Structure 1
Amino acid sequence: MTDTIIIGGGSGMGLALARTLLAQGTDVTIVGRSADRLAKARTELERPGHGRIGTITADMGREEDVAELFARVEKVEHVVVTAADATGVYGPTADLATATARTLIETKLLGAWLVAKYAAGRVTGSITYTSGINAYRPNGANTIMAAANGALASLAYGLAIELAPVRVNVVSPGWVDTPIWDQLAMDKQAAFAELAERLPARRVGAPDDIAQAFSALMHNGFITGTVLHVDGGHRIT
């Protein structure tokens, strides 16, 4: 049996979770679209005395890739999805290309559904998805991302019933310092500093903060159909 598959494990929050689990002796397979990024992550993660690390190149927005991924796995205890592509999705709805919106939905929402479709019968413990603060605090320039992230909660509620006793949950991060920010045309450090002043936690998140949240949902057998908010208090400010 494979211990954990992390789709999107080559960078950011997924990479942090892989590092955490491997240090605990868990065997982890990281999945992503970029073979080069996966190879770099594997080199970084391999450590004597830690769990075994494997890599698989796949695009969760492509049904054939997801089907092939799970066809290679007889059983897996946990599946975590952190993959995201925010390229071009921010801005007024009137200015957003429809093709860009479709690509986001195909990856973020339909891709999540495809993971459940093909993991069913193979996953034994849990599936955990990643949404985000914009589902709960939209700002007028992230509407399609907010919609996709918000829909993941409803997907998890339905799958928690359909796939039971496999548990299905969602982690909803706030602003986290990950490479995804490099895709956005903004002064990241200035934005982080401004937000940190308003957050009750007085800082933006780190990938390890989110890794700890994933681990909690994966290993608590009485949590299912739940959205865990890890946002430094962003929803209440």
Structure 2
Amino acid sequence: MTDAMIIGGGSGMGLALARTLLAERMDVTIVGRSADRLAAAKEELAQAAQGKISTVRADIGREEDVAELFAWVERVEHVAVTAADVTGAYGRIADVATAAAEAVVDTKLLGAWLVGKHAVGRVTGSITYTSGINAYRPNGANTIVAAANGALASLAYGLAIELAPVRVNVISPGWVDTAIWDQLGMDKQAAFAELAERLPARRIGTPNDIAQAFLSVMRNGFITGTVLDVDGGHRLLT
């Protein structure tokens, strides 16, 4: 039994969420594909943890891994899914390899579906997925990522009915300063500065912003079947 399980908790927004939940004295299990990253995350989190921290290596794109994960945890109150694999997924559709597109769908959509499937009888409180601003604002170079993120809303709506009273929601971040930007081959700081000037919030998001949104949804027992946009007003830009 654990209070919360974070799939993708070894880095970025997932790691920030783990830090936030541990500060709330919750017992947290972080799940990821990289044993080295999980070990580093556990070492970092343990330095200030108020709750118990555990790690499990699993790939949510593989059903056997997801089944074993939920069999191991037995009972968990809250599950958050922040895992994403967008390597090679950005660019014009003619230039994106099919394998890269499949990896996005396997992690973001099919993996999310597998979590819902194997959560039955194991999760007692909530499941929260992570979408993104490109679900609403595709730019011609992120089509498969936008499609997978957009589909998460429909998945959550269906699961909120099917898994009730377990609550199922989606957090949809805007631009957040995480290491994933370093994979995109762009001038991150210049892009951040340009967007920050235009956003109503006048800044780029932080992993802690997203962690606080997850915590709010987990705590509020009357939120289900909802997409919560945490994007600094990005959807309002013209």
Q: TM-score, normalised by structure 1?
A: 0.98
1:60-71 alignment to 2 at 5 Å? 60-71=60-71
Deviation readout 1:166-213 (Å, 9 max, x if unpaired):
000000000000111111110100000010011000000000000000
Deviation readout 1:24-72 (Å, 9 max, x if unpaired):
1000000000000000000100146600000000011111111110110
Instruction: Say whether the 8 Å CA contact 2:86–2:103 is kept in structure 1.
Output: no
Alignment match, 1:186: 186
Unaligned 5+ runs, structure 2: none
Q: Give the 3-state SS of the residue equivalent to 1:229 in structure 2.
A: strand
1:27-42 alignment to 2 at 5 Å? 27-42=27-42
Question: Sequence identity, in percent?
Answer: 79
Q: Give the 3-state SS of the residue equivalent to 1:93 in structure 2.
A: coil
Q: Distance in 2 between matches of 1:36 and 1:97?
A: 27
Q: Distance in 2 between matches of 1:213 and 1:86?
A: 23
Alignment match, 1:6: 6
1:42-61 alignment to 2 at 5 Å? 42-47=42-47, 50-61=50-61
Corresponding letter in the other structure for 2:85: D
Instruction: Say whether the 8 Å CA contact 1:169–1:227 is kept in structure 2.
Output: yes
Alignment match, 2:103: 103
Instruction: Say whether the 8 Å CA contact 2:173–2:231 is kept in structure 1.
Output: yes
Q: Distance in 1 between matches of 2:182 and 2:64?
A: 29
Unaligned 5+ runs, structure 1: none
Alignment match, 2:152: 152
Question: Alpha-carbon deviation of 1:100?
Answer: 1.3
Q: Distance in 2 between matches of 1:168 and 1:49?
A: 27
Deviation readout 1:85-142 (Å, 9 max, x if unpaired):
1110011111111121112111110000001111111000000000000001111110
Q: Bigger shift: 177-186 or 122-131?
A: 177-186
Compared CA separation, residues 201 and 49, structure 1 to 2 (3 A): closer
1:19-34 alignment to 2 at 5 Å? 19-34=19-34
Q: Distance in 2 between matches of 1:49 and 1:73?
A: 20
Q: Give the 3-state SS of the residue equivalent to 2:90 in structure 1.
A: coil
Q: TM-score, normalised by structure 2?
A: 0.98
Instruction: Say whether the 8 Å CA contact 2:67–2:118 is kept in structure 1.
Output: yes
Q: Distance in 2 between matches of 1:15 and 1:227?
A: 21
Instruction: Say whether the 8 Å CA contact 2:19–2:49 is kept in structure 1.
Output: no
Alignment match, 1:165: 165
Q: Distance in 1 between matches of 2:22 and 2:99?
A: 38
Corresponding letter in the other structure for 1:182: D
Instruction: Say whether the 8 Å CA contact 1:22–1:51 is kept in structure 2.
Output: yes
Q: Give the 3-state SS of the residue equivalent to 1:197 in structure 2.
A: helix
Tell me, yes or no, if structure 1 residue 211 matches structure 2 residue 218: no
Alignment match, 1:75: 75
Return structure 1 stretches of 4+ with deviation > 6 angstroms: none
Corresponding letter in the other structure for 1:178: T
Alignment match, 1:17: 17
Q: Give the 3-state SS of the residue equivalent to 2:228 in structure 1.
A: strand
Once superposed, what is the RMSD of the aligned Cα atoms? 0.9
